[in-house]
Amino acid sequence: MLLNDKKTVRAWTFYDWANSAYSLIITSAIFPAYYSAIVPEKIIWFGIEFSRSSLASFSISFSFLFIAVLSPILSSIADYKGNKKSFMKFFCYLGASACAAMFFFEKDSAGQPNVVWGLTCSIIASIGYCGSIVFYNAFLPEVASKDRQDEVSAKGFAMGYIGSVLLMLVCFAFIILNEQMAWNLGSLPARISFVLVAIWWLLFAQIPFRTLVETPKESSHKTIDIIRNGYTELRKVWTELRHFPILKKFLASFFFYNMGVQTVMYMATYFASDELKMETTQLLAVVLIIQLVAIGGAWLFSILSNKAGNQTSLFTLIVIWIGICFAAFVIQTITQFFILAFAVGMVMGGIQSLSRSTYSKLLPPTEDTASYFSFFDVCDKLGIVIGTLSFGMITLIMGGMRNAALGLSVFFIIGLSILLSIRKKEFQLAS
């Protein structure tokens, strides 16, 4: 593929457009709101009493732990066979199928929700989403040159936000009309939304699938050797990081601050529902605000990074995130939460986009991008596991989510400290 080819870049960003519907509607909006509406506040699971929010948090932790273990194997196979796109397709289809299956997550004739089915589908959908992302990200250095990667990465996230908001508006309208027009369709509008996500994901994913090109590789390696090589490659990357101290420090910083970012994104709706008792329509409105503001935020911090540098931009973003954690601890009203949601949206798109592009720019010259992005992905997923697990444990032990939200600030502070340990000139030279 030609670097910076407009058609290829546009096609690559369309996968953000396609799969971000899952990220918004399933992860952040309708599924959490629907889950909170039909699942009792307290659930007995294997003789242990869980809050519904802590159980949701633990299910997220499990899904990301699974993909963190699986991802090195998959990237190894892709490296040896040259079939990143094939694995992108597999996980895309797996995730979309699980989203469609969520249609059957509802209350039975006795009025009891099938929590096992709902959480299982959400776990499989999460695995599909995350599994495809590692191969999607690995295409970025093959699509854009270093000087264009901030811009292209931001464009991808912006496309994702726009596309997901469009579908969200359709789903939102269906839910609102059901309430306002007294259609009495019950949970059907929400469950139809899950099917629409699947269709949207599958449909628009065909654009990058048709356009992205890679050269198949011949390999005489046995399957067992390829599987072992996945973890060998991770050790190799870890060893190579000794020679790239700036990249190593950035990864450490990313590992910690990303714990906080991802946990906030996954648990914000549950927080609003359980702590502030927000209604479904209010929850969906908040999520829409976050997504719309995030579009501007991704572009704003892309511009800032071009003028002030990636390090300064990331510093600014992390400081704002720390403030958000403290604000979540003290807010009392729905209006205050709407204001906080605006702030989250402004920094959410920026920090995701800049993290991806900064890592890509700091990579050493190599054709083995899949292994490096697999390592990045493992750091990302393990961070989410620790973040959501910590959040769930604090919520379970202390009986509320405010202390858990405040606890997330520790992750951001550690990440900020590591980032500040890198001299500005060294960071600039490395990137």
Q: What is the pLDDT of residues 343-355, one digit of tens each?
A: 998 898 788 878 8
128 pLDDT band (50/70/90 cuts)? very high
pLDDT for res 296: 81
> Which residue carries 């654009």 as its tokens?
207
Q: Say what the pLDDT of residue 285 is.
A: 83
Tell me the CA distances in angstroms from 385 to 4, 59, 219, 260, 417, one per residue in order.
Answer: 35, 10, 34, 11, 22
- pLDDT 10s digits, 207-235: 999 998 875 555 555 555 666 776 777 78
From first CA to last CA, the distance across the chain in angstroms is 23
CA 246 – CA 363 distance, rounded (Å) = 10
Is residue 431's pLDDT more than 70? no
Q: Is the pTM of this model over 0.85?
A: no
Q: Per this entry, what is the length of the chain? A: 431
Per residue in 165-177, pLDDT (tens digit) is 899 889 888 888 8
- Over the chain, what is the mean pLDDT? 84
Tell me which of 78-82, 111-115, 203-207, 273-277 is least confident. Answer: 78-82
Q: What number of other Cβ atoms are within 10 A of residue 256's Cβ?
A: 23
Say if CB 161 and CB 298 are below 8 A apart. yes
φ/ψ of 367, rounded to 5, equals -95, -10
pLDDT in tens, 285-338: 888 888 778 778 878 887 888 888 888 889 999 999 999 999 999 998 989 999
Q: Which residues contact 365 (CB under 8 A, 6 or more apart)?
A: none
Q: Is the pLDDT of residue 253 over 90?
A: yes
Q: What tokens were used for 45?
A: 């699971």
Residue 48 β-bridge partners:
45
More confident residue, 216 or 378: 378
Of the candidates 73, 47, 45, 72, which has an alpha carbon nearest to the alpha carbon of residue 59?
Answer: 45
What does the pLDDT read at residue 83? 75
Whether pLDDT at 92 is above 70? yes
Q: How confident is the model at residue 161 (pLDDT cuts 50, 70, 90)?
A: confident
Do 269 and 59 form a contact (C-beta atoms < 8 A)? no
Domain ranges of the chain: 6-430
d(CA 361, CA 314): 14
Q: In this model, does residue 53 exceed pLDDT 60? A: yes
Q: What is the separation of C-alpha 339 from the centre of its chain, rounded to a whole number of angstroms? A: 22
Q: What is the pLDDT of residues 11-42, one digit of tens each?
A: 999 999 999 899 888 888 888 888 888 888 88
Q: Is the pLDDT of residue 60 over 90?
A: no
Higher pLDDT, 83 or 336: 336
Q: Which fold has domain 6-430?
A: Growth Hormone; Chain: A; (1.20.1250)
